[in-house]
């Protein structure tokens, strides 16, 4: 069974609009971490943001914020004021810290920002 | 170097050949991961080391795949008798040990693109 589910294979968003990328996860481990990575067409993997399962507040990093809804096992990435350079693949990932700490990724969402 | 270094960046192999992909992690990073990424897909977990110990190799697709990290630093992913379905980008990533002061996020190399003819 998929542990990380990203239901949007592709999205088109107008420049300057906000965009939400969906991520749901499945774990019985009470201690886990959630990550978002960006992969532009150049192929590099860029770390964006992290949320720990015990963090009381939603994580924010500049234009990126994570809408963490623990009961729903949801960790959506919100990008405010999108820019053309935000066009890329976005991956949600999870580390189950009570297990062996391996990090697994979702299948990704390809985001296209339109001028 | 400052980042994770992978070599070769590109490898073309004939079906049946053996290949070895090298990863040099960031100095001081105890954790090292290998992923396989097919075109347009997410990284698929292959194996994970903490120092020299291989803690999880559940993602290795067959016994043709083997990874090692003998001194807890450089790692090598070896694929024996390559098949066309092995064609992919192989990503290596390293991280600090998870702790109070860090998230344990992964730092990725640029990947090794393997094409099996």
Top-ranked range on mean pLDDT: pick from A40-44, B26-30, B75-79:
B75-79
pLDDT score of A96: 86
Which pair of structure tokens corresponds to residue B18?
A: 């053996």
pLDDT score of B38: 95
Average pLDDT along chain A: 93
pLDDT score of B1: 55
pLDDT score of A61: 95
pLDDT score of A58: 95
Taking an 8 Å cut-off on Cβ atoms, the answer to whether A97 and B98 are in contact is yes
pLDDT digits 0-9 by tens, A46-87:
999 999 999 989 999 999 999 999 999 999 999 999 999 999
Q: What's the pLDDT band for A20 if we cut at 50, 70, 90?
A: very high
| Rounded Cα gap, residues A82 and A97, in angstroms | 32
Q: A111 to chain B nearest CA, in Å?
A: 12
Taking an 8 Å cut-off on Cβ atoms, the answer to whether A102 and B33 are in contact is yes
Q: Count other Cβ atoms within 10 Å, centred on residue A112.
A: 12
pLDDT digits 0-9 by tens, B63-117:
999 999 999 999 999 999 999 999 999 999 999 876 656 678 899 999 999 999 9
pLDDT score of B97: 74
- Asked if pLDDT for residue A42 goes beyond 60, the answer is yes
Count CB pairs under 8 A between chains A and B: 59
DSSP per-residue letters across chain B: --S-EEE-SEEEE-TT--EEEEEE--TT--EEEEEEE-TTSPPEEEEEEETTEEEE-TT--STTEEEE-TTSS-EEEEE-S--GGG-EEEEEEEEPPPBTTB----EE---EEEEE-
Q: What's the pLDDT band for B2 if we cut at 50, 70, 90?
A: confident
Q: A18 to chain B nearest CA, in Å?
A: 24
């Amino acid at each position: 069974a998929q542990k990380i589910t990203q239901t949007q294979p592709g999205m088109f968003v107008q420049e300057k609009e906000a965009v939400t990328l969906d991520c749901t996860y499945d774990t019985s481990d009470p201690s886990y971490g959630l990550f978002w990575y960006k992969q532009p067409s150049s192929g590099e993997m860029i770390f964006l943001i992290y949320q720990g399962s015990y963090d009381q507040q939603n994580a924010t990093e500049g234009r990126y914020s994570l809408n963490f809804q623990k009961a729903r096992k949801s960790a959506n990435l919100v990008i405010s004021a999108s820019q053309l350079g935000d066009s890329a693949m976005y991956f949600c990932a999870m580390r189950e810290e009570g297990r062996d700490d391996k990090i697994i990724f979702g299948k990704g969402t390809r985001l296209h920002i339109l001028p | 170097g400052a980042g994770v270094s992978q070599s070769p960046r590109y490898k073309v192999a004939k079906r049946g050949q053996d290949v070895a992909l090298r990863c040099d992690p960031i100095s001081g990073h105890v954790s090292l991961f290998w992923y396989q990424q097919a075109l347009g897909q997410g990284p698929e977990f292959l194996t994970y080391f903490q120092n020299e110990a291989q803690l999880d190799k559940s993602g290795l697709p067959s016994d043709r795949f083997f990874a090692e990290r003998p001194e807890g630093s450089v790692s090598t992913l070896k694929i024996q008798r390559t098949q066309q379905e092995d064609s992919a980008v192989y990503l290596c990533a390293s991280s600090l040990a998870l702790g109070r002061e860090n998230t344990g996020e992964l730092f990725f190399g640029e990947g090794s693109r393997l094409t099996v003819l």
